[in-house]
Amino acid sequence: MPEAPAMHIDKGLDNTIIGESRKSFIDGQAGILEYVGIDIDDLARTSTFEEVVFLLWNDRLPTAAELESFETELRAEYSLSSEMVGMLKSIPHDASPMHVLRSMVSSLALEDPECNDQSLESERRKAIRVLSKTPAIIAGFDRCRRGLELIDPDPSLNMATNFLWMLNGEMPGEASARAIDVCLILHADHGINASTFAAMVTIATQSDMYSALTSAVGTLRGPLHGGANERVMHMLQSIGGHDEVESFVMNSLENKTRIMGFGHRVYKALDPRAKYLKTFAEQIAEETGNTDLYVLSTRIQDIMDREVGAKGIYPNVDFYSATTYFSLGLAIDLFTPVFAMSRNAGWAAHSLEQHQDNRLIRPRCQYMGEHGVEYVHIDKR
Ligand code: CMC
Protein backbone atom coordinates (compact mmCIF):
# COMPACT_ATOMS: atom_id res chain seq x y z
CA MET A 1 0.00 0.00 0.00
CA PRO A 2 1.44 3.46 -0.89
CA GLU A 3 2.30 5.60 2.11
CA ALA A 4 -0.39 8.21 2.89
CA PRO A 5 0.89 11.79 2.31
CA ALA A 6 1.23 14.09 5.31
CA MET A 7 -1.98 16.04 5.97
CA HIS A 8 -2.57 19.32 7.74
CA ILE A 9 -5.72 21.16 8.72
CA ASP A 10 -6.28 24.51 6.99
CA LYS A 11 -9.66 25.72 8.17
CA GLY A 12 -11.13 28.16 5.64
CA LEU A 13 -8.36 27.07 3.20
CA ASP A 14 -6.55 30.36 3.95
CA ASN A 15 -3.15 28.85 3.20
CA THR A 16 -3.99 26.33 0.49
CA ILE A 17 -3.22 26.83 -3.19
CA ILE A 18 -5.66 24.56 -4.97
CA GLY A 19 -4.10 24.67 -8.43
CA GLU A 20 -2.72 26.82 -11.23
CA SER A 21 -4.68 29.50 -13.07
CA ARG A 22 -4.03 32.11 -15.75
CA LYS A 23 -7.12 34.23 -15.03
CA SER A 24 -6.52 36.77 -12.30
CA PHE A 25 -3.61 37.75 -10.09
CA ILE A 26 -4.07 39.32 -6.66
CA ASP A 27 -1.33 40.79 -4.51
CA GLY A 28 -3.17 41.31 -1.26
CA GLN A 29 -0.28 43.08 0.44
CA ALA A 30 0.31 45.60 -2.35
CA GLY A 31 -3.37 45.94 -3.35
CA ILE A 32 -2.93 44.81 -6.95
CA LEU A 33 -5.47 43.01 -9.14
CA GLU A 34 -4.79 41.95 -12.73
CA TYR A 35 -6.92 40.02 -15.20
CA VAL A 36 -4.63 37.90 -17.39
CA GLY A 37 -1.76 40.23 -16.45
CA ILE A 38 -3.58 43.52 -17.21
CA ASP A 39 -4.03 45.95 -14.34
CA ILE A 40 -7.66 46.39 -13.26
CA ASP A 41 -7.26 50.19 -13.40
CA ASP A 42 -6.38 50.06 -17.11
CA LEU A 43 -9.32 47.79 -17.84
CA ALA A 44 -11.77 49.91 -15.84
CA ARG A 45 -10.61 53.06 -17.59
CA THR A 46 -10.50 51.82 -21.16
CA SER A 47 -12.10 48.39 -21.68
CA THR A 48 -15.67 47.09 -21.86
CA PHE A 49 -17.28 44.20 -20.02
CA GLU A 50 -17.58 42.16 -23.23
CA GLU A 51 -13.89 42.59 -23.96
CA VAL A 52 -13.03 41.56 -20.40
CA VAL A 53 -15.13 38.38 -20.75
CA PHE A 54 -13.25 37.50 -23.94
CA LEU A 55 -9.96 38.18 -22.14
CA LEU A 56 -10.87 35.91 -19.22
CA TRP A 57 -12.13 33.09 -21.43
CA ASN A 58 -9.27 33.20 -23.94
CA ASP A 59 -6.34 34.47 -21.87
CA ARG A 60 -5.73 37.31 -24.34
CA LEU A 61 -7.39 40.46 -25.67
CA PRO A 62 -9.50 40.06 -28.83
CA THR A 63 -8.83 41.71 -32.17
CA ALA A 64 -11.56 44.11 -33.33
CA ALA A 65 -13.07 41.40 -35.55
CA GLU A 66 -12.97 38.82 -32.75
CA LEU A 67 -14.66 41.21 -30.34
CA GLU A 68 -17.39 41.99 -32.83
CA SER A 69 -18.05 38.33 -33.47
CA PHE A 70 -18.04 37.56 -29.71
CA GLU A 71 -20.50 40.38 -29.05
CA THR A 72 -22.78 39.02 -31.77
CA GLU A 73 -22.64 35.60 -30.13
CA LEU A 74 -23.55 37.09 -26.73
CA ARG A 75 -26.36 39.31 -28.07
CA ALA A 76 -27.96 36.38 -29.89
CA GLU A 77 -28.62 34.85 -26.45
CA TYR A 78 -30.06 37.93 -24.69
CA SER A 79 -33.70 36.83 -24.71
CA LEU A 80 -35.56 34.30 -22.58
CA SER A 81 -37.86 31.68 -24.09
CA SER A 82 -41.61 32.08 -23.48
CA GLU A 83 -41.40 29.12 -21.06
CA MET A 84 -38.70 30.86 -19.02
CA VAL A 85 -40.69 34.11 -19.06
CA GLY A 86 -43.72 32.13 -17.86
CA MET A 87 -41.65 30.63 -15.06
CA LEU A 88 -40.36 34.06 -14.06
CA LYS A 89 -43.91 35.42 -13.93
CA SER A 90 -45.07 32.53 -11.74
CA ILE A 91 -42.49 33.18 -9.00
CA PRO A 92 -43.88 34.85 -5.84
CA HIS A 93 -43.20 38.57 -6.10
CA ASP A 94 -41.75 38.77 -2.61
CA ALA A 95 -39.04 36.21 -3.37
CA SER A 96 -35.44 37.31 -2.95
CA PRO A 97 -33.91 38.09 -6.37
CA MET A 98 -30.85 35.94 -5.57
CA HIS A 99 -33.11 32.92 -4.94
CA VAL A 100 -34.87 33.75 -8.19
CA LEU A 101 -31.61 34.02 -10.10
CA ARG A 102 -30.28 30.74 -8.68
CA SER A 103 -33.49 28.91 -9.63
CA MET A 104 -33.66 30.44 -13.10
CA VAL A 105 -29.99 29.71 -13.95
CA SER A 106 -30.64 26.13 -12.92
CA SER A 107 -33.82 26.04 -15.03
CA LEU A 108 -32.02 27.15 -18.19
CA ALA A 109 -30.56 23.62 -18.35
CA LEU A 110 -34.08 22.20 -18.75
CA GLU A 111 -34.48 23.63 -22.23
CA ASP A 112 -30.93 23.19 -23.49
CA PRO A 113 -30.75 20.26 -25.93
CA GLU A 114 -27.01 19.94 -25.33
CA CYS A 115 -27.19 20.02 -21.55
CA ASN A 116 -25.59 16.57 -21.36
CA ASP A 117 -22.83 17.31 -23.89
CA GLN A 118 -19.68 17.62 -21.78
CA SER A 119 -17.35 18.91 -24.49
CA LEU A 120 -15.44 22.10 -23.78
CA GLU A 121 -17.16 23.88 -26.66
CA SER A 122 -20.59 22.92 -25.36
CA GLU A 123 -19.74 24.08 -21.83
CA ARG A 124 -18.54 27.39 -23.32
CA ARG A 125 -21.85 27.79 -25.20
CA LYS A 126 -23.74 27.14 -21.96
CA ALA A 127 -21.65 29.81 -20.23
CA ILE A 128 -22.60 32.27 -22.99
CA ARG A 129 -26.28 31.46 -22.53
CA VAL A 130 -26.20 32.03 -18.77
CA LEU A 131 -24.07 35.18 -19.04
CA SER A 132 -26.28 36.68 -21.74
CA LYS A 133 -29.63 35.75 -20.19
CA THR A 134 -28.85 36.78 -16.61
CA PRO A 135 -29.67 40.50 -17.23
CA ALA A 136 -33.09 39.50 -18.63
CA ILE A 137 -33.76 37.32 -15.58
CA ILE A 138 -32.85 40.08 -13.09
CA ALA A 139 -34.62 42.89 -14.94
CA GLY A 140 -37.60 40.67 -15.82
CA PHE A 141 -38.20 39.59 -12.23
CA ASP A 142 -37.89 43.14 -10.96
CA ARG A 143 -40.48 44.34 -13.48
CA CYS A 144 -42.81 41.40 -12.66
CA ARG A 145 -42.76 42.27 -8.96
CA ARG A 146 -43.43 45.93 -9.75
CA GLY A 147 -46.42 44.86 -11.84
CA LEU A 148 -44.87 46.13 -15.07
CA GLU A 149 -44.72 44.60 -18.55
CA LEU A 150 -41.44 42.88 -19.40
CA ILE A 151 -39.23 44.72 -21.89
CA ASP A 152 -37.66 42.75 -24.74
CA PRO A 153 -33.87 42.88 -24.87
CA ASP A 154 -32.31 45.01 -27.57
CA PRO A 155 -29.46 43.17 -29.31
CA SER A 156 -28.07 46.42 -30.68
CA LEU A 157 -26.99 47.35 -27.13
CA ASN A 158 -24.09 46.19 -25.01
CA MET A 159 -24.87 44.17 -21.90
CA ALA A 160 -24.77 47.06 -19.43
CA THR A 161 -27.01 49.35 -21.50
CA ASN A 162 -29.38 46.53 -22.39
CA PHE A 163 -29.73 45.65 -18.69
CA LEU A 164 -30.75 49.21 -17.76
CA TRP A 165 -33.07 49.34 -20.76
CA MET A 166 -34.85 46.12 -19.73
CA LEU A 167 -34.99 47.24 -16.09
CA ASN A 168 -36.34 50.76 -16.58
CA GLY A 169 -37.96 50.68 -20.02
CA GLU A 170 -36.08 53.79 -21.04
CA MET A 171 -32.71 54.30 -22.63
CA PRO A 172 -30.11 55.09 -19.95
CA GLY A 173 -27.84 58.10 -20.17
CA GLU A 174 -24.29 57.47 -21.29
CA ALA A 175 -22.86 58.06 -17.80
CA SER A 176 -25.19 55.53 -16.10
CA ALA A 177 -24.59 52.87 -18.76
CA ARG A 178 -20.83 53.33 -18.51
CA ALA A 179 -21.07 53.20 -14.69
CA ILE A 180 -22.72 49.76 -14.83
CA ASP A 181 -20.26 48.64 -17.50
CA VAL A 182 -17.32 49.59 -15.26
CA CYS A 183 -18.91 47.88 -12.24
CA LEU A 184 -19.27 44.74 -14.37
CA ILE A 185 -15.57 44.96 -15.31
CA LEU A 186 -14.47 45.42 -11.70
CA HIS A 187 -16.50 42.44 -10.41
CA ALA A 188 -15.77 40.04 -13.28
CA ASP A 189 -13.13 37.89 -11.61
CA HIS A 190 -11.25 37.58 -8.37
CA GLY A 191 -9.17 34.43 -8.10
CA ILE A 192 -10.53 31.42 -6.28
CA ASN A 193 -13.06 33.21 -4.09
CA ALA A 194 -15.82 31.19 -2.39
CA SER A 195 -18.33 31.22 -5.26
CA THR A 196 -15.70 30.51 -7.93
CA PHE A 197 -14.45 27.62 -5.83
CA ALA A 198 -18.03 26.32 -5.57
CA ALA A 199 -18.33 26.43 -9.38
CA MET A 200 -15.00 24.64 -9.79
CA VAL A 201 -15.88 21.92 -7.28
CA THR A 202 -19.09 21.31 -9.23
CA ILE A 203 -17.57 21.22 -12.73
CA ALA A 204 -14.72 19.03 -11.44
CA THR A 205 -17.18 16.20 -10.82
CA GLN A 206 -17.87 16.30 -14.59
CA SER A 207 -21.25 17.80 -13.88
CA ASP A 208 -22.10 20.72 -16.20
CA MET A 209 -21.85 24.50 -16.55
CA TYR A 210 -25.46 25.13 -15.46
CA SER A 211 -24.85 23.21 -12.23
CA ALA A 212 -21.53 24.99 -11.68
CA LEU A 213 -23.05 28.45 -12.16
CA THR A 214 -26.06 27.55 -9.99
CA SER A 215 -23.71 26.51 -7.16
CA ALA A 216 -21.83 29.77 -7.61
CA VAL A 217 -24.93 31.99 -7.43
CA GLY A 218 -26.01 30.25 -4.22
CA THR A 219 -22.56 30.75 -2.72
CA LEU A 220 -22.26 34.40 -3.74
CA ARG A 221 -25.47 35.21 -1.88
CA GLY A 222 -23.97 35.04 1.62
CA PRO A 223 -23.25 38.28 3.52
CA LEU A 224 -19.60 37.34 3.99
CA HIS A 225 -19.25 37.27 0.20
CA GLY A 226 -21.33 39.03 -2.48
CA GLY A 227 -24.29 39.68 -0.20
CA ALA A 228 -22.21 42.28 1.65
CA ASN A 229 -23.04 45.08 -0.83
CA GLU A 230 -26.72 44.96 0.16
CA ARG A 231 -25.80 44.88 3.85
CA VAL A 232 -23.61 47.96 3.32
CA MET A 233 -26.63 49.88 2.08
CA HIS A 234 -28.83 48.75 4.98
CA MET A 235 -26.04 49.73 7.36
CA LEU A 236 -25.72 53.21 5.82
CA GLN A 237 -29.48 53.69 6.00
CA SER A 238 -29.56 52.60 9.64
CA ILE A 239 -27.13 55.36 10.69
CA GLY A 240 -29.28 58.33 11.58
CA GLY A 241 -26.97 61.10 10.38
CA HIS A 242 -23.40 62.30 10.15
CA ASP A 243 -23.22 63.02 13.90
CA GLU A 244 -23.93 59.38 14.66
CA VAL A 245 -21.20 57.84 12.50
CA GLU A 246 -18.50 57.97 15.16
CA SER A 247 -20.61 56.25 17.82
CA PHE A 248 -21.95 53.71 15.32
CA VAL A 249 -18.49 52.58 14.23
CA MET A 250 -17.00 52.64 17.73
CA ASN A 251 -19.92 50.65 19.20
CA SER A 252 -19.73 48.11 16.38
CA LEU A 253 -16.00 47.60 16.89
CA GLU A 254 -16.42 47.34 20.63
CA ASN A 255 -19.18 44.74 20.25
CA LYS A 256 -17.19 42.91 17.55
CA THR A 257 -19.96 43.51 15.03
CA ARG A 258 -18.49 43.61 11.53
CA ILE A 259 -18.72 46.77 9.52
CA MET A 260 -20.03 45.58 6.18
CA GLY A 261 -17.86 46.39 3.16
CA PHE A 262 -14.63 46.29 5.17
CA GLY A 263 -11.98 43.60 5.45
CA HIS A 264 -10.91 40.90 3.06
CA ARG A 265 -9.43 37.43 3.32
CA VAL A 266 -6.74 38.28 0.74
CA TYR A 267 -6.32 42.09 0.72
CA LYS A 268 -4.52 43.50 3.69
CA ALA A 269 -4.06 46.78 1.77
CA LEU A 270 -6.77 48.85 0.09
CA ASP A 271 -8.74 46.73 -2.39
CA PRO A 272 -7.79 48.26 -5.79
CA ARG A 273 -11.42 47.95 -6.92
CA ALA A 274 -12.56 50.00 -3.92
CA LYS A 275 -10.07 52.73 -4.80
CA TYR A 276 -11.61 52.99 -8.26
CA LEU A 277 -15.20 52.67 -7.06
CA LYS A 278 -14.71 55.41 -4.49
CA THR A 279 -13.89 57.95 -7.20
CA PHE A 280 -16.76 56.65 -9.23
CA ALA A 281 -19.22 56.74 -6.32
CA GLU A 282 -18.28 60.37 -5.71
CA GLN A 283 -18.86 61.37 -9.35
CA ILE A 284 -22.21 59.58 -9.61
CA ALA A 285 -23.32 60.86 -6.23
CA GLU A 286 -22.66 64.41 -7.40
CA GLU A 287 -24.43 63.82 -10.70
CA THR A 288 -27.48 62.30 -9.04
CA GLY A 289 -27.57 64.46 -5.91
CA ASN A 290 -26.79 61.61 -3.49
CA THR A 291 -23.75 63.24 -1.94
CA ASP A 292 -25.04 62.71 1.59
CA LEU A 293 -24.58 58.95 1.38
CA TYR A 294 -21.17 59.35 -0.18
CA VAL A 295 -19.99 61.71 2.57
CA LEU A 296 -21.35 59.33 5.22
CA SER A 297 -19.36 56.51 3.61
CA THR A 298 -16.11 58.49 3.58
CA ARG A 299 -16.64 59.37 7.25
CA ILE A 300 -16.95 55.65 8.08
CA GLN A 301 -13.80 54.98 6.10
CA ASP A 302 -11.88 57.70 7.98
CA ILE A 303 -12.85 56.25 11.35
CA MET A 304 -12.11 52.68 10.25
CA ASP A 305 -8.70 53.80 8.92
CA ARG A 306 -7.93 55.41 12.26
CA GLU A 307 -9.16 52.47 14.36
CA VAL A 308 -8.34 49.30 12.40
CA GLY A 309 -6.33 50.39 9.34
CA ALA A 310 -3.16 49.14 11.02
CA LYS A 311 -4.75 45.65 11.17
CA GLY A 312 -5.15 45.70 7.37
CA ILE A 313 -8.91 46.25 7.42
CA TYR A 314 -9.85 48.57 4.54
CA PRO A 315 -12.91 49.04 2.32
CA ASN A 316 -13.47 46.14 -0.06
CA VAL A 317 -15.26 46.13 -3.44
CA ASP A 318 -18.69 46.11 -1.80
CA PHE A 319 -18.34 49.31 0.21
CA TYR A 320 -18.44 51.90 -2.54
CA SER A 321 -20.29 49.76 -5.09
CA ALA A 322 -23.30 49.96 -2.75
CA THR A 323 -23.56 53.76 -2.96
CA THR A 324 -22.82 53.62 -6.69
CA TYR A 325 -25.70 51.21 -7.37
CA PHE A 326 -28.00 53.12 -5.04
CA SER A 327 -27.26 56.42 -6.79
CA LEU A 328 -28.01 54.71 -10.09
CA GLY A 329 -31.48 53.89 -8.79
CA LEU A 330 -31.10 50.12 -8.40
CA ALA A 331 -33.29 48.43 -5.78
CA ILE A 332 -31.05 47.32 -2.90
CA ASP A 333 -31.83 43.62 -3.33
CA LEU A 334 -30.60 43.82 -6.94
CA PHE A 335 -27.05 44.73 -5.89
CA THR A 336 -25.92 41.12 -5.41
CA PRO A 337 -27.67 39.87 -8.58
CA VAL A 338 -25.75 42.57 -10.53
CA PHE A 339 -22.55 41.26 -8.92
CA ALA A 340 -23.56 37.77 -10.15
CA MET A 341 -24.30 39.13 -13.63
CA SER A 342 -20.66 40.17 -13.83
CA ARG A 343 -19.06 37.29 -11.92
CA ASN A 344 -20.62 34.79 -14.35
CA ALA A 345 -17.58 35.74 -16.44
CA GLY A 346 -15.07 34.66 -13.81
CA TRP A 347 -17.05 31.61 -12.68
CA ALA A 348 -17.16 30.34 -16.26
CA ALA A 349 -13.50 31.23 -16.93
CA HIS A 350 -12.31 29.16 -13.98
CA SER A 351 -14.78 26.35 -14.68
CA LEU A 352 -13.58 26.10 -18.29
CA GLU A 353 -9.98 26.14 -17.05
CA GLN A 354 -10.79 23.36 -14.59
CA HIS A 355 -12.56 21.40 -17.34
CA GLN A 356 -9.44 21.53 -19.51
CA ASP A 357 -7.16 20.13 -16.81
CA ASN A 358 -9.48 18.38 -14.43
CA ARG A 359 -8.96 16.64 -11.15
CA LEU A 360 -11.83 15.84 -8.80
CA ILE A 361 -11.69 18.29 -5.87
CA ARG A 362 -12.05 16.19 -2.79
CA PRO A 363 -10.48 17.48 0.44
CA ARG A 364 -10.73 15.67 3.75
CA CYS A 365 -11.51 16.59 7.30
CA GLN A 366 -10.01 15.55 10.59
CA TYR A 367 -12.48 13.19 12.26
CA MET A 368 -12.88 14.24 15.90
CA GLY A 369 -15.59 11.79 16.97
CA GLU A 370 -15.48 8.48 18.77
CA HIS A 371 -14.75 5.02 17.37
CA GLY A 372 -16.28 1.60 18.01
CA VAL A 373 -19.51 2.99 19.41
CA GLU A 374 -22.13 0.30 20.01
CA TYR A 375 -25.33 0.56 17.94
CA VAL A 376 -28.23 0.65 20.42
CA HIS A 377 -31.61 -0.44 19.11
CA ILE A 378 -34.18 2.40 18.98
CA ASP A 379 -36.38 0.69 21.64
CA LYS A 380 -33.51 0.79 24.10
CA ARG A 381 -32.40 4.41 23.71
N1 CMC B 1 -15.36 44.97 10.61
C2 CMC B 1 -14.74 44.93 11.79
N3 CMC B 1 -13.74 44.07 12.07
C4 CMC B 1 -13.37 43.23 11.10
C5 CMC B 1 -13.98 43.23 9.84
C6 CMC B 1 -15.02 44.15 9.62
N7 CMC B 1 -15.64 44.20 8.45
N8 CMC B 1 -13.41 42.27 9.08
C9 CMC B 1 -12.47 41.69 9.83
N10 CMC B 1 -12.45 42.25 11.07
C11 CMC B 1 -11.57 41.91 12.16
C12 CMC B 1 -12.05 40.66 12.89
O13 CMC B 1 -12.97 40.97 13.91
C14 CMC B 1 -10.75 40.10 13.40
O15 CMC B 1 -10.39 40.84 14.54
P16 CMC B 1 -9.63 40.13 15.79
O17 CMC B 1 -8.34 39.65 15.23
O18 CMC B 1 -9.51 41.22 16.78
O19 CMC B 1 -10.53 39.01 16.22
C20 CMC B 1 -9.75 40.42 12.29
O21 CMC B 1 -10.30 41.55 11.62
C22 CMC B 1 -9.54 39.29 11.30
O23 CMC B 1 -10.82 38.84 10.88
P24 CMC B 1 -11.08 37.42 10.18
O25 CMC B 1 -12.52 37.08 10.36
O26 CMC B 1 -10.08 36.42 10.61
O27 CMC B 1 -10.77 37.73 8.69
P28 CMC B 1 -11.33 36.93 7.48
O29 CMC B 1 -10.23 36.78 6.54
O30 CMC B 1 -12.05 35.68 7.83
O31 CMC B 1 -12.47 37.96 7.01
C32 CMC B 1 -14.22 38.77 5.76
C33 CMC B 1 -12.78 38.29 5.75
C34 CMC B 1 -14.54 39.37 4.40
C35 CMC B 1 -15.13 37.58 6.03
C36 CMC B 1 -14.42 39.83 6.88
O37 CMC B 1 -13.51 40.89 6.71
C38 CMC B 1 -15.85 40.34 6.97
O39 CMC B 1 -16.69 39.69 7.59
N40 CMC B 1 -16.14 41.53 6.37
C41 CMC B 1 -17.48 42.06 6.34
C42 CMC B 1 -18.29 41.42 5.23
C43 CMC B 1 -17.84 41.87 3.86
O44 CMC B 1 -17.66 43.05 3.60
N45 CMC B 1 -17.70 40.90 2.95
C46 CMC B 1 -17.30 41.16 1.57
C47 CMC B 1 -15.98 40.57 1.24
S48 CMC B 1 -15.24 41.23 -0.23
C49 CMC B 1 -16.24 40.76 -1.51
C50 CMC B 1 -16.20 39.32 -1.79
O51 CMC B 1 -15.12 38.73 -1.88
O52 CMC B 1 -17.26 38.78 -2.01
Least confident of 75-89, 226-240, 335-349: 226-240
The answer on pLDDT for 169 being more than 80 is: yes
Taking each helix axis as running N to C, give the angle between helix 291-308 and helix 228-238, from 0 to 180 degrees, rounded to the nearest 10.
100
Q: What is the pLDDT of residue 135?
A: 98
Q: Is the CB–ligand 1 distance for residue 225 below 6 Å?
A: yes
Give the pLDDT band (50/70/90) at residue 42.
Answer: very high
**Ligand 1 and 259: CB distance under 6 A:** yes
**The pLDDT value given to residue 5:** 76
State yes or no: is 225 an active-site residue.
yes
Radius of gyration of the chain (CA): 22
Pairing mode, strands 32-35 and 24-27: antiparallel
Measured in Å, residue 266 CA sits from the centre of ligand 1 at 10
Q: How far apart are the C-alpha atoms of 207 and 216, rounded to whole Å?
A: 14
Catalytic residue chosen out of the listed positions 190, 208, 318, 355: 318
- Name the nearest CA neighbour of 162 among 372, 343, 374, 341: 341
Q: All domains of the chain, ordered by start, with CATH?
A: 24-223+343-356 (1.10.580.10), 228-327 (1.10.230.10)
Whole-angstrom Cα distance, residue 343 to residue 216?
A: 9
Sign of the dihedral defined by the CA atoms of residues 132, 133, 138, 143, in that order: positive
Establish whether 292 is a catalytic residue. no
Cα separation of 102 and 213, whole Å?
Answer: 8
Alpha helix segments (H runs only) across 289-331: 291-308, 317-327
> Nearest-5° angle of CA 271, CA 319, CA 349?
60
pLDDT at 250: 97
CA distances, 182 to each of 151, 179, 300, 335 (Å): 23, 5, 24, 14
> How large is the average pLDDT for residues 275-304?
90
Residue 25, pLDDT above cutoff 90:
yes
Residue nearest to atom 13 of ligand 1 (CA): 256
| Strands of 24-27's sheet in order across | 24-27, 32-35, 38-39
pLDDT tens, position by position, 101-154: 999 999 999 999 999 999 999 999 999 999 999 999 999 999 999 999 999 999
* Ligand 1 site-directed mutation target among 313, 318, 342, most atoms within 8 Å of CB: 313
What is the rounded CA–CA span in Å between residue 126 and residue 134? Answer: 12
Can you say how many angstroms the Cα of residue 281 is from the centroid of all Cα atoms in its chain?
18
Question: Which pLDDT value is given to residue 217?
Answer: 98
